Structure 1
Amino acid sequence: MSGELLLEETLIKRSQQKKRTSPLNYKERLFVLTKTRLTYYDGRPEKKFKRGSIELSRIRCVEIVKNGGGSIPCNYKYPFQVVYDTNTLYVFAPSQNSRSLWVQSLKEEIKDNTVVFMKFHPQLWQEGVWLCCRQAEKQALGCEEYNLFGDITRKPLPPIPGEENKRRPPPDPPLSEEYEDEDADEDDDNNDEEVVVALYNFPGAEPHDLSLVKGDEYVILDKCDVNWYKARNMYGEEGYIPSNYITEKTSGNLEQYVWYSKQVNRNKAEELLRTQDKEGSFIVRDSSTPGAYTVSLYAKSLAGEGSAAIKHYHIKEIEGSPKQFYLAEKHLFNSIPELIEYHKHNAAGLVARLRYPVGKQDKSAPSTAGFSYEKWEINPSELTFMKELGSGQFGQVKLGKWRAQHKVAIKAIREGAMYEEDFIEEAKIMMKLSHPKLVQLYGVCSQQKPIYIVTEFMEHGCLLNFLRQRRGSFNLESLLSISLDVCEGMEHLEVNGFIHRDLAARNCLVNDALVVKVSDFGMTRYVLDDQYTSSSGAKFPVKWSPPEVFNFCKYSSKSDVWSYGVLMWEVFTEGRMPFEKNPNHQVVMLVSQGQRLYRPKLATPALYDIMQLCWHERPEERPSFSHLCTMLSDTLEEDILPPT
């Protein structure tokens, strides 16, 4: 029967720490598992209070927790996790056998759930970060593959010695009127509202969406996943909003200011300032040093230089209480906005006053992860086809519009070109990967033939053609900026446990703002063997592949790093074919013997050193994409000026 008792035991529950600042606490609770619910009670002998209850159908993951956070501050030392909706319940068992019994029993009951994760976080969420992968977003994709069934035998575990007959009937109803709502957590303070400011307009696409007006304030009600939040506006209307369209309203958050541009590196800042061509134009942006900021300032006439120039100034900090900031040492300020406001009226050591903020006024809104919350299936009748863009390994690609307003690229999948059912399942996960340097997947049309894949439209097409068509027009900084764009996109895939498998200039795209984004990540897994051939005619792209791939078909983030080194070579040769004079079988032999691509003329020795780091024979000796991003950013920023 649905209420059949499965397990009952006193365990310790940890508060969910919904806010980074909320203190953690641990409380004994009587946990009761039936065929339909996991319920926990404040089990005082004189009165039982229901403290929380979770329907098993809503559970997405049950797994042991590896203790990566040091000592456990409660009496029970064997933690496991129950992930449901967007919450994670941490429970501590008194013994390894007890924990195994709870985890295996729960896994058995949820094995047919439709919402189960493919990946999970094996360590705790604590003080605003996942201890396993150091991601600071609570709804970030997991970093370890989740096994729905526990051990592969799935044999029932033996009973805990001496406790075979300890099962008791569930507490007698009715429960006290003081029981909590099943989603509530008695240990958290829910009175503090998180207020955000809209950075862009968002016209809600579906009835359950909430439209955003740039500059207006909203209250966050629920962080449904990493890409979509539920919010309320000033009129009391509620709905879903894209998380990358808002920013927290706090005094230290620079994103609410028009002069701050988060995703702008040194080269792009210079392009924007030269386009503006105004004395005193400026941008405040992130430095290559994490947590530091740079002011990029345009001056039309500088003594001795005879022409316009762009100067870059670090914003310096003085530690203390309060912390102070300066651009010129005699002028200290308690915040960066105060500093900017002062230098709008006084050059005070800079080459010009900060007169015209550049950047956000004309900045187009970023892509959203799908057109609406949990909308991945797109009705083909809502698509308008405009013109053919080309054809790829899967079929034709056309420019179109969704609901006559959003420009999109539509890939029509040629019948027999891919494992369609497997891809459609993966597409639901790929849609959640949202980053400014990844081509956004908006959804699929899977209820008809041919299947359509709907993605962000990139005006300048593939990077390889972009490089070849403009050969001779690139400077070192622009090629380095292209390389950094791709590296940042790959870093996001690496952090989220995604392997590209076919990274090359042909699989990156360029938009109208000349931002380069990584495309088609992970797609090669779904290509049928007799259909997929790379541009070189091989079953896999030999000239971009490391030895462990062409010898053992062993893919990893480090095999992507090798391919990235080849992509950098493509960029700095402005689109030449790697090993252009050698057929594939010779390339395999040459690379196995230790030969590598030569240094491109446009690449400095330092940049060629970075490429060679990517081409280490042993995968573990290659850098991570995070390390590569740091090295490339440092190269871009190497001539930041001190104040004069």
Structure 2
Amino acid sequence: MSERLLEDVFIKRSQQKKKTSPLNFKERLFILTKEKISYYDYDPEKMKKKGLKGSVDVEKIKGVENVLPEENAPADRMFPFQIIYDEGPLYVFAKNDEVRRQWIHKLKQVVRFNNDLIQKYHPCFWADGIWLCCQQEVKQALGCRVLETPNGGFTNKGSRRKSRKPLPPTPQEEKSSRPLPPQPPPREEGPSAGMTVIAEYEYTPMTEQDLQLQKGEEYTILEMVDTNWWRAADKYGNEGYIPSNYVVEAGNGLERFDWYCKNMNRSQAENLLRTENKDGGFLVRDSSKAGKYTVSLFTKGGGDAPGSCRHYNICTTTQGQYYLAERHNFSSIPDLITYHQHNSAGMVCRLKYIVSNRRCAPSTAGLGYGVWEIDPRHLTFIKELGNGQFGVVKYGKWQGQHDVAIKMIKEGSMSEDDFIEEAKVMMKLRHENLVQLYGVCTKQRPIYIVTEFLSNGCLLTYLREDLNHPSPVLLLEMCKDVSEGMAYLESQQYIHRDLAARNCLVDSNGTVKVTDFGLSRYVLDDEYTSSAGSKFPVRWSPPEVLLYCKFSSKSDIWAFGVLMWEVYTLGRMPYERLNNTEIVEKVSSGLRLYRPQLANERIYSIMTTCWSDKPEERPTFQELVVTVQDLLYELQ
């Protein structure tokens, strides 16, 4: 079991994830470990922990801050603090200020290396559908108070990064347009010194300043240069830069095991297991229900000639122990897996062969630390993939070994100087459901944009040509992939402006990734930038864009609803019988796309919430992620 860092009894306020949820306050036992903060039902008379009521993964925490107590607060609610994560603030009331400061300090220590630490927060409560501090009515609204120390409240030493002014607003944006996404957190030298990590993947240095990684070996972190690249040392004293997503903190749990496939969904697991085609092949993945895990197992028994996949949820007892099909309880998931590698114990067969997705290392932010300008002489062009708005796209290799996609930008098709400046920021955006920008070639014309290559190509083509009788789970998982990528962009205050199936790609595992985010901002073609133009994405645009060219994250939400419709029609053209002029008129008058045959009423209701006339009534992407995850859990 993980070491307990802190343990205390607090009063917890209900999170009111829905507007109709009641507001109440209950005493809970809180336990903090390096992996998560968990809270339990508690018997104060017997001073005994009871059933688990909830938990928050440490890696999902974006900030920890004080909260001003409410007016006329009772004595036991005078010292509140908030744990900020994707599902909203978790409000906790400590018994005194000393305990509160102790927990805030320890939590900030534990989460200091997290991505996306907040720069602003709300100093008052969210209550009755409004932030009491700034009167904003959107729960996910950006905080109204800047942290005295940025980067989640930590003091940064020795930062050499200069501030970057945002690009000026364009005529197509609202007057109150948001700035470019923030730079990654500046370097932190003190907190990172001495942390030991284990390499999950092999890494071959791409520049002279990089450090080679051997899978399973331990390394010491010397400096957190930014969120994507760390300076590290191996056991021989060699130093260099490593991609932060190739390592995991020593003793950090399941990531150490090859059978753990963290971000794999059900359909991807089945695809991988069927490809291996081994009786007893298995893996462990995150369940669609947050904080839960599933064992996916392939069997050729039971008369299934081609084999079949079974999925077993890992359950927990009230004492926090783990079990599968029968109540053989274990204190940890690794112990449970070891047992079932030798005993089927209620499953269709025992766990015989580890099936892993770690053969393919994740993409890195750039081709080496600090590399964003790529020498075109290091690129080999292999074949043409297509011809898009900006020019020809080709598949190729970088330095003869790394697969890349290369966009050759047509001269005069984009505002090149503005794009080149923002490319440096875009390279810092990294998420498993975004196509990674590796770098650019700007020393010659045409300029090249070099990105991650995804072998299954465009989602639109994939829907039309490669899917035969897709399951409801598979279609919903595609939508979940896109919603999670867009939720990340939303958290970075980044607007896509052209979200559609044609601007998503599919990798070899079936994961969908969003591409071309923000590029439409730099198009010079009036046929594309004007809502009256023949190339403008009218079919994916809400009324405020069609009539006033007002882009926002809420216009991306509308486009996501249309993308969902594309997925559930297997790639049909939205409003296929109408021309652009008719679409503008009818959509502005209330016309909406019909329910696809493959979409049930609940799926269609998600689409229609994205198509509300009023932008403020549309959900956020983070809310959509939660909705889709809950629906996936029910389907599975």
TM-score between both structures, scaled by the size of structure 2 = 0.71
Alignment-derived partner of residue 237 in structure 1: 238
Alpha-carbon contact 2:294-2:314 (below 8 Å) kept: yes
Q: Secondary structure at the match of 1:532?
A: helix
1:351-400 residue CA offsets vs partner (Å, 9 max, x unmatched): 22122221236x31111000111211111121122222221111121222
Q: Which moved more, 1:275-284 or 1:598-607?
A: 275-284
* Matched residue, 2:544: 548
**Other-structure match for 1:441:** 437
| Cα distance change of structure 1 residues 396 and 533 upon mapping to structure 2, 3 Å threshold | farther
By how many angstroms is 1:227 displaced? 0.8
Paired letter, 1:89 = T
SS at match of 1:270: helix
> For 1:212, what is the secondary structure of its paired residue?
coil
- Relative to structure 1, is the Cα distance of residues 639 and 354 closer, same or farther in structure 2, using a 3 angstrom cutoff? farther
1:571 aligns with 2:567: yes
The farther-off stretch of 417-426 and 622-631 is: 622-631
Per-residue Cα deviation, 1:562-603 (whole angstroms, up to 9, x for no partner):
101101111111111100101112112222222211111122
For 2:310, the aligned partner's letter is: K
Report the 3-state secondary structure (helix = DSSP H, G, I; strand = E; otherwise coil) of the residue aligned with 1:429.
helix
> How far apart in 1 are the matches of 2:572 and 2:530?
16
Instruction: After TM superposition, give the deviation of residue 67 of structure 1 in Å.
Output: 6.2
Structure 1 match to 2:21: none
Larger gyration radius, structure 1 or structure 2: 1
What's the CA shift for 1:477?
3.0
Change in 2 beyond 3 A, CA 1:374/1:578: same
Paired residues for 1:365-444 under 5 Å: 365-444=361-440
Q: Which residue of 1 aligns with 2:291?
A: 291
Q: Secondary structure at the match of 2:630?
A: helix
Scaled by the length of structure 1, what TM-score is found? 0.70
The question of whether the paired residues in 2 share the 8 Å contact of 1:458 and 1:510 is answered with yes
Equivalent-residue separation in structure 1 for 2:612 and 2:471 (angstroms): 28
Please give the per-residue CA displacement for 1:108-162, whole angstroms capped at 9, x wherever unaligned: xx9xx9721568xxxxxxxxxxxxxxxxxxxxxxx974999xxxxxxxxxxxxxx
Amino acid at match of 2:332: S
> Does the aligned pair in 2 maintain the 1:377–1:445 contact within 8 Å?
yes
* In the alignment, structure 1 residue 585 sits paired with structure 2 residue 581: yes
Equivalent position SS for 1:360:
coil
Q: CA–CA distance in 1 between the matches of 2:456 and 2:237? A: 42
- 1:307 positional shift: 7.7
Distance 1:249 1:183 in 2: 20
Unaligned stretches of 5+ in structure 1?
A: 1-17, 25-62, 71-77, 92-109, 120-142, 149-181
Q: What is the CA distance between 1:224 and its match in structure 2?
A: 1.1
- Deviation (angstroms), 1:415: 1.3
Change (3 A) 1:607 1:616: same
SS at match of 2:520: helix
Which of 353, 357, 361 is the equivalent residue of 1:356?
A: 353
Match of 2:215, SS state, is: coil
**Residues 1:369 and 1:454: Cα distance change in structure 2 (over 3 Å):** same
Please name the residue that 1:333 is paired with: 330
Preserved CA contact (<8 Å) 2:188 2:224: no
Aligned to 2:315: 316
Q: Select which of 129, 149, 155 maps to 1:89.
A: 155
RMSD: 3.5
Kept after mapping to 2: 8 A contact 1:417/1:531: no
The corresponding residue for 1:96 is: none
Structure 2 CA distance for aligned equivalents of residues 357 and 64 of structure 1: 41
Deviation at 1:460, TM superposition (A): 2.6
Q: Deviations over 1:80-134 (max 9, x none)?
A: 64669x995389xxxxxxxxxxxxxxxxxx9xx9721568xxxxxxxxxxxxxxx
Quote the offset at 1:484 in angstroms.
2.0
Q: Is the aligned partner of 1:280 residue 2:280?
A: yes
Counterpart pick for 2:455 among 455, 459, 463: 459
Alignment of 1:596 onto 2:592: yes
Contact 1:438 1:489 in 2 (8 A): yes
Residues in 2 aligned to 1:483 and 1:613: alpha-carbon distance in whole angstroms: 15
Task: Output the CA distance in 1 between the equivalents of 2:299 and 2:189.
Answer: 56
Kindly tell me: are residues 222 and 510 of structure 1, through their superposed partners in 2, closer, same or farther at Cα, counting changes over 3 Å?
A: same
Once the two structures are superposed, what CA deviation does each residue of 1:268-299 show, in whole Å capped at 9, x if it has no partner? Answer: 11222223333322221111221111112223
Give the corresponding residue for 2:344: 347
Hey, what's the Cα distance between the residues in 2 that align with 1:480 and 1:464? Answer: 15
Aligned-partner Cα distance in 2 for 1:255–1:206: 27
In 2, are the aligned partners of 1:369 and 1:434 still within 8 Å (CA)? yes
* DSSP 3-state at the match of 1:301: coil
Deviation at 1:480, TM superposition (A): 2.3
Residue matched to 1:271: 271
Match in the other structure for 1:115 = 162
Instruction: Give the drift of 1:416.
Output: 1.1
Match of 1:202 in 2: 203
**In 2: Cα distance, 1:183 partner to 1:114 partner:** 12
Contact 1:64 / 1:81 at 8 angstroms: preserved in 2? no
Match of 2:221 in 1: 220
Secondary structure, aligned partner of 1:626: helix
Cα distance between partner residues in 1 of 2:156 and 2:236:
37
Kindly indicate whether the alpha-carbon contact (under 8 Å) linking 2:322 and 2:336 is maintained by their aligned counterparts in 1.
yes
Q: Which amino acid aligns with 1:232?
A: A
**Is residue 469 of structure 1 aligned with residue 470 of structure 2?**
no
Distance 1:364-1:629 versus aligned 2 partners, 3 A rule: same
1:617 equivalenced with 2:613 (yes/no): yes
Change (3 A) 1:289 1:514: closer
Contact 2:414–2:522 (CA<8 Å) still a contact in 1? yes
For 1:364, give the aligned amino acid. C
1:257 Cα deviation from its structure 2 partner: 0.4
Deviations 1:321-367 (A, max 9, x none): xx321224532111110011111111222222122221236x31111
Q: CA deviation at 1:619?
A: 1.7
Cα–Cα, structure 1 residues 492 and 79, in superposed 2: closer, same or farther, change >3 Å?
closer
Correspondent of 1:488 among 484, 488, 500: 484
Alpha-carbon distance between aligned partners in 2 of 1:400 and 1:442, rounded to the nearest angstrom: 13
Distance 1:414 1:309 in 2: 49
Q: Which residue of 2 aligns with 1:160?
A: none
d(CA) in 1 for partners of 2:261 and 2:302?
A: 26
Distance 1:478 1:346, change over 3 A: same
Question: Residue 137 of structure 1 aligns with which residue?
Answer: none
Aligned mates of 1:202, 1:90 — CA distance in 2: 28
SS of residue matched to 1:89: coil
Amino acid at match of 2:155: L
Q: 1:505 aligns with which of 501, 522, 544?
A: 501
Which SS does the other structure have where 1:312 is aligned?
strand
C-alpha change, 1:494 and 1:405, in structure 2 (3 Å) is same
Letter in 2 for 1:346: N
* d(CA) in 2 for partners of 1:563, 1:257: 39
Mapped to 2, the partners of 1:400 and 1:221 lie a distance apart of 35
State the distance in 1 between where 2:203 and 2:346 align.
Answer: 41
Judging changes above 3 Å, is the alpha-carbon distance between structure 1 residues 414 and 354 closer, same or farther for their aligned structure 2 residues?
A: same
CA contact (8 A) 1:301 1:307 kept: no
Partner of 1:68: 123
Q: Which amino acid aligns with 2:268?
A: K
Q: How many corresponding residue pairs?
A: 492
Which residue identity does 1:338 align to in structure 2?
D
1:264 aligns to what SS in structure 2? coil
Distance in 1 separating the partners of 2:562 and 2:149: 43
